[in-house]
C-alpha cells in the first residue's frame, strides 16, 4: 500500500495516544469498529468548563491509515467546542491524509468515533443535569460505550 | 556483524535466482540462442539438448521415471489450468466431477469456478484446524462421475503439508486421476509422484531459486496414461500438450535449480527448520498472546505463520518496513477480505487480521532471524500500547463478550 507522507508521519509518530478516565463526567468515550473487521477505534474527549475540548486521546487497533486517521482526528478536536467538533467530516480527514480509495473507511470510522464520543459526553451531561435537578443519588449514569 | 537491510522473509511468494542458476542460463540468451524446435541445425540441437537435460533433472527431483512426463509451461498457474481444464475436457464423456479443497491456491479455485460454469461439478473438501484434509473425506466424496482429485502438496500461507501419499492410495485404488499443486516445498519435504501415486503435478521454478515465467506440469505417461486436451493451440510442442516456442534459458535455469534442490534440499530443510524454530522461540519468549497458525508437525520447513493478537497485520508490516513478510489481513489483500485459508481452518477474522507469515529461505541467516525477532517484538509491543483491544484484554474483558458494531 503506497501511503502519503502524512499518513506515515502520523503512523510513525502518532499524537495523543492514551487513555482518559472514562468514568469522569467531563470525558466522552467513543468505541467503534469490530475486531473481526480489522479495525477498532477508541476516541476520548475531555471537555473543559468553557465547553471546549481541552484534551483528546485515542487507541486504535487497525492498519496504518486507521491509526493516522485517529491521530489526526484527536489533534483536530483539541480546542474546538463540542458543536464545532461535530462538524468534522470523514472527507476532511481523507483529504488531509490523502487516503487511497480502499482506505476511506478508516476516515469514516474516525468520524463515527468522534460522533460516538460526543454522544457519550452529552448523555453524561444530561444524566448529570437530571441528577442535579431531581433528588440526589438516583440511577447511576453509565452510558459508556464500554 | 550488522545485518544488511532490507531483509527478505517472503520466500513463499518468490525466491531470488541462485547465482549458480543464473550462470547456467546466461549462454542460452546469447551464443546458444537457438529454437529447441529447429531440427535442422546445430543451434536447434544445442537448445534441444539443454532442454532434455533440464527435463531429466526436474523428473529426478519429483521422482518421475520418464523425463517426457515433464511438460513445460509459463508457471504453476498455467500448469494448474492445463491440468484441470485439460482433464475436464478430455474426460468429459467419462464424468464431470472434480474434488478439491477449500485451501487451494486461487489458480485451482478460480479454475474450478470456471469449470463449474461450464457444467462440471466440484466438491470443495473442508480442512481441520491445522489446515489438513482428511483422506477419508476424499474417499467419501468420490462418485462414479469423479474424474479428478486435486489437492495441494503444501499450503502457501500456513505451510501445512497434505497427506498426499494417503490420498494417492485412494485415488489409485478407485481409478481416479490425482493432481497436486506442488509449488511449495518440493525438494525440502519428501515428494515423489511415483511412490505417492500422483498423476499430475504443477511445479514452478521461481519458488526454488529459478527464474520466473517457467513452470511445468508433470503428466503421467503410464499406469495410468493421463490424457489432456491442450489449452493453447499451435505448433504442437511439448508432446502436443502445450504449444509455444520453448523458453530455453528459463528451462535451463529451472533444470539447474531442480538439480541443486535435489542435491541440497534435505540439508537446506534442516537449516530452515532450525532458523524457523529460532525465530519462533525468540518471539514467544518475549511476547504474550501469540498464536501459531497451521500444523506444528506437518509443516513446510521455512514457514512460520503466527497471529499477534490485538495488533493489525498491515500496521505491523508498516512498522517493520525493512523486513519483507506477508499478512493474512484484509488490508493487504486485493479483495479486502481476510485470508480464506485461515478462515477455512476456523481461525477467527480478528486473528486473521493479526496474522503474519514469515517465509524463510536459502539466503536467510541467524543474524537476520534475531534482528527480525527483536524488531517484531518491539513493534508489537508499541502497537499493543496503542491498541484498545490489548488494554481491554489486560483489564480482563473478554473481547468476545463485547457487542461490536460491525461496519
B308-351: pLDDT as tens digits: 999 999 999 999 999 999 998 877 666 678 999 999 999 999 99
For chain A, say whether B166 makes contact (Cβ under 8 Å): no
> Taking CB atoms and an 8 Å cut-off, how many pairs form between chains A and B?
87
Q: Which residues of B touch A105 (CB under 8 A)?
A: 407
- Test B318 with A63 for CB contact under 8 angstroms: yes
For chain A, say whether B37 makes contact (Cβ under 8 Å): no
- Please tell me which of the candidates B318, B404, B406 has its beta carbon nearest to residue A11: B318
Q: Which parts of B35-105 fold into alpha helices (H)?
A: 42-62, 76-90
Burial B115-143 (b: 16+ CB within 10 A, else e): beeeebebbebebeebbbbebebbbeebe
Grid coordinates standing for B157?
500461507
The ipTM is 0.88
Distances (CA, A) of B176 to A39, B79, B95, B169, B219: 46, 19, 10, 10, 14
Q: What is the pLDDT along chain B (407 residues), one digit of tens a residue?
A: 689 999 999 999 999 999 999 999 999 999 999 999 999 999 999 999 999 999 999 999 999 999 999 999 999 999 999 999 999 999 999 999 999 999 999 999 999 999 999 999 999 999 999 999 999 999 999 999 999 999 999 999 999 999 999 999 999 999 999 999 999 999 999 999 999 999 999 999 999 999 999 999 999 999 999 999 999 999 999 999 999 999 999 999 999 999 999 999 999 999 999 999 999 999 999 999 999 999 999 999 999 999 999 999 999 999 999 999 999 887 766 667 899 999 999 999 999 999 999 999 999 999 999 999 999 999 999 999 999 999 999 999 999 889 887 65
Q: Which parts of B96-215 fold into alpha helices (H)?
A: 106-117, 135-141, 164-174
Q: Which residues of A touch B349 (CB under 8 A)?
A: 35-38
Q: Which residues of B touch A64 (CB under 8 A)?
A: 314-315, 318
Question: Alpha-carbon Rg of chain A, whole angstroms?
Answer: 16
For chain A, say whether B289 makes contact (Cβ under 8 Å): no
Q: Which residues of B touch A63 (CB under 8 A)?
A: 312, 314-315, 318, 329, 331
For chain A, say whether B342 makes contact (Cβ under 8 Å): no
Q: Measure in Å the smallest separation between the Cα of B3 and chain A Cα atoms.
A: 23
Handedness of CA B210, B215, B217, B221 (dihedral sign): negative
DSSP state of B312: -
> With a cut of 70, which residues of chain A have pLDDT below it?
1, 134-146
- Test B315 with A11 for CB contact under 8 angstroms: yes
Under 8 Å between Cβ of B157 and B339: yes
- Strands of B355-359's sheet, edge to edge? B290-292, B303-308, B355-359, B326-327
Question: In sequence order, what are the beta bridge partners of A61?
Answer: A40
B331, B375, B389, B399: which one is catalytic? B331
- Please tell me which of the candidates B314, B386, B390 has its beta carbon nearest to residue A14: B386
- Please tell me which of the candidates B310, B311, B349 has its beta carbon nearest to residue A36: B349
- Strands of B200-204's sheet, edge to edge? B70-73, B215-219, B200-204, B177-181, B146-150, B97-101, B121-125
Under 8 Å between Cβ of B291 and B306: yes
- Please tell me which of the candidates B331, B392, B405 has its beta carbon nearest to residue A38: B331
Q: Name the closest residue on chain A to residue B386, using Cα atoms.
A: A59
Under 8 Å between Cβ of B203 and B183: yes
- Test A105 with B318 for CB contact under 8 angstroms: no
- Test B407 with A109 for CB contact under 8 angstroms: yes
- Test A35 with B389 for CB contact under 8 angstroms: yes
Under 8 Å between Cβ of B86 and B226: no
Q: Which residue has the cell 500438450?
A: B241
Angle between helices A5-12 and A90-97 (to 10 degrees): 100
Grid coordinates standing for B175?
481409478
Q: Which residue has the cell 458543536?
A: A83
What is the predicted pLDDT for the residue at A3?
87
Q: Name the closest residue on chain A to residue B354, using Cα atoms.
A: A38
Catalytic: B331? yes
pLDDT tens string A49-77: 999 999 999 999 999 999 999 999 999 99
From CA A128, how far away is CA B179, in angstroms rounded? Answer: 70
For chain A, say whether B348 makes contact (Cβ under 8 Å): yes
Q: Measure in Å the smallest separation between the Cα of A119 and chain B Cα atoms.
A: 15
Grid coordinates standing for B233?
493451440
Mutate to test the interface with A, among B322, B342, B407 (most CBs of A within 10 A): B407
Q: Which residues of B touch A1 (CB under 8 A)?
A: 314, 331-332
Q: Other C-beta atoms within 10 Å of B249: how many?
A: 23
Under 8 Å between Cβ of B202 and B182: yes
- Test B330 with A62 for CB contact under 8 angstroms: no
pLDDT tens string B152-181: 999 999 999 999 999 999 999 999 999 999
Grid coordinates standing for A125?
451531561
Q: Which residues of B touch A43 (CB under 8 A)?
A: none
Model pTM score? 0.93
Under 8 Å between Cβ of A100 and A7: no
Under 8 Å between Cβ of A62 and A39: yes
| Residues near A1 by beta carbon (within 8 Å), at least 6 away in sequence | A63, A64, A100, A103, B314, B331, B332
Q: Which residues of B touch A39 (CB under 8 A)?
A: 312
For chain A, say whether B297 makes contact (Cβ under 8 Å): no
- Test B349 with A40 for CB contact under 8 angstroms: no
Q: Which residues of A touch B397 (CB under 8 A)?
A: 146
Q: Measure in Å the smallest separation between the Cα of B158 and chain A Cα atoms.
A: 20
- Which residues of A have a catalytic role annotated? 37, 106
Amino acid at each position: 500500500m503506497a501511503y502519503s507522507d502524512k499518513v506515515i508521519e502520523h503512523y510513525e509518530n502518532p499524537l495523543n495516544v492514551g487513555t482518559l478516565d472514562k468514568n469522569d463526567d467531563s470525558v466522552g468515550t467513543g468505541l467503534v469498529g469490530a475486531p473481526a473487521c480489522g479495525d477498532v477505534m477508541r476516541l476520548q474527549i475531555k471537555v473543559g468548563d468553557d465547553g471546549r475540548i481541552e484534551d483528546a486521546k485515542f487507541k486504535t487497533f487497525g492498519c496504518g491509515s486507521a491509526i493516522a486517521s485517529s491521530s489526526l482526528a484527536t489533534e483536530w478536536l483539541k480546542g474546538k467546542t463540542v458543536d464545532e467538533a461535530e462538524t468534522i467530516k470523514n472527507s476532511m480527514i481523507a483529504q488531509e491524509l490523502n487516503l487511497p480509495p480502499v482506505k476511506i473507511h478508516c476516515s469514516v470510522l474516525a468520524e463515527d468515533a468522534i460522533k460516538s464520543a460526543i454522544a457519550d459526553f452529552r448523555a453524561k451531561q444530561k444524566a448529570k443535569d437530571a441528577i442535579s435537578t431531581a433528588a440526589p443519588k438516583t440511577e447511576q449514569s453509565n452510558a459508556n460505550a464500554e | 556483524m550488522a545485518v544488511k537491510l532490507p531483509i527478505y522473509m517472503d520466500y513463499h511468494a518468490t525466491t531470488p535466482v541462485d547465482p549458480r542458476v543464473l550462470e547456467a542460463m546466461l549462454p542460452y540468451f546469447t551464443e546458444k540462442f537457438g529454437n529447441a524446435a529447429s531440427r535442422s541445425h546445430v543451434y536447434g540441437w544445442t537448445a534441444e539438448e539443454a532442454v532434455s537435460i533440464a527435463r531429466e533433472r526436474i523428473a529426478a527431483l519429483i521422482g518421475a521415471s520418464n523425463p517426457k512426463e515433464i511438460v513445460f509451461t509459463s508457471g504453476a498457474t498455467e500448469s494448474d489450468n492445463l491440468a484441470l481444464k485439460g482433464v475436464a475436457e478430455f474426460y468429459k464423456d467419462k464424468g464431470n466431477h472434480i474434488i478439491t479443497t477449500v485451501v487451494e491456491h486461487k489458480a485451482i479455485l478460480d479454475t474450478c469456478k470456471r469449470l463449474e460454469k461450464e457444467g462440471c461439478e466440484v466438491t470443495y473438501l473442508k480442512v481441520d484446524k491445522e489446515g489438513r484434509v482428511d483422506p477419508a473425506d476424499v474417499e467419501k466424496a468420490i462418485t462414479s462421475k469423479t474424474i479428478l482429485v486435486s489437492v495441494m502438496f503444501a499450503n502457501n500461507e500456513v505451510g501445512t503439508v497434505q497427506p498426499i501419499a494417503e490420498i494417492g492410495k485412494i485415488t489409485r485404488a478407485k481409478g481416479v486421476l490425482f493432481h497436486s499443486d506442488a509449488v511449495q516445498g518440493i525438494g525440502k519435504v519428501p515428494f515423489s509422484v511415483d511412490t505417492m501415486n500422483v498423476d499430475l503435478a504443477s511445479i514452478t521454478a521461481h519458488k526454488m531459486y529459478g527464474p520466473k515465467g517457467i513452470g511445468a506440469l508433470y503428466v503421467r505417461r503410464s499406469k495410468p496414461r493421463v490424457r489432456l486436451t491442450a489449452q493453447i493451440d499451435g505448433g504442437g510442442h511439448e508432446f502436443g500438450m502445450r504449444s509455444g516456442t520453448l523458453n530455453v534459458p528459463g528451462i535451463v535455469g529451472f533444470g539447474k535449480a531442480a538439480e541443486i534442490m535435489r542435491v541440497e534440499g534435505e540439508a537446506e530443510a534442516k537449516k530452515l527448520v532450525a532458523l524457523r524454530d529460532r525465530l519462533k522461540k525468540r518471539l514467544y519468549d518475549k511476547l504474550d498472546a501469540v498464536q501459531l497458525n497451521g500444523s506444528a508437525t506437518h509443516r513446510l520447513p521455512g514457514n512460520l505463520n503466527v497471529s499477534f493478537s490485538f495488533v493489525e497485520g498491515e500496521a505491523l508490516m508498516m512498522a517493520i518496513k525493512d523486513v519483507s513478510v506477508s499478512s493474512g489481513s484484509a488490508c493487504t489483500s486485493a479483495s479486502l477480505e481476510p485470508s480464506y485459508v485461515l478462515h477455512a481452518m476456523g481461525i477467527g477474522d480478528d486473528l486473521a487480521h493479526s496474522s503474519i507469515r514469515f517465509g524463510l529461505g536459502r539466503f536467510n541467516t541467524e543474524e537476520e532471524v534475531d534482528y527480525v525477532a527483536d524488531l517484531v517484538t518491539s513493534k508489537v509491543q508499541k502497537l499493543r500500547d496503542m491498541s484498545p483491544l490489548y488494554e481491554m484484554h489486560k483489564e480482563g474483558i473478554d473481547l468476545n463478550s463485547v457487542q461490536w458494531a460491525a461496519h
